Amino acid sequence: MTRTEIFGRVAALLEARFGVVAAALSEDRHFAGHLDMGWLELVTLVLEVEEVFGIEISDDDLIDLQTVGQMVDLVAEVERIDRSAARAAE
């Protein structure tokens, strides 16, 4: 999946769950500062991202998440690692 596709899906989640206007969203938006999301909302978003993308985000990675772009990068990285692990298991 491309970064653009990941961003689109994350933006759609933010819009559906938290009322963020996806068309006005950019990767540099901070969850706390720009989107007014608290810790609980961020954890909820991460749980939904995990479900939608079929991935698992570690607690360590969750602590470092500050922007939408970081979320997109993290999803892309975890997907890449999962694909590599699946290939190695074959």
Q: For the residues 55-59, what does the mean pLDDT come to?
A: 93
Structural fold of domain 3-89? 1.10.1200
72/82: higher pLDDT: 72
Phi, psi of 14 (to 5 degrees): -60, -40
What pLDDT, on a 0 to 100 scale, did the predictor assign at position 86? 72
Compute CA distances 69 → 6, 46, 73, 87, 89, whole Å.
10, 14, 6, 27, 30
pLDDT interval class at 82 (50, 70, 90): confident
Per-residue pLDDT of 3-47, as tens digits, reads: 999 999 999 999 999 999 999 999 999 999 999 999 999 999 999
Q: What is the pTM of this model?
A: 0.89
pLDDT for residue 83 is more than 80: no
What pLDDT, on a 0 to 100 scale, did the predictor assign at position 2? 92
- Domain locations along the chain: 3-89
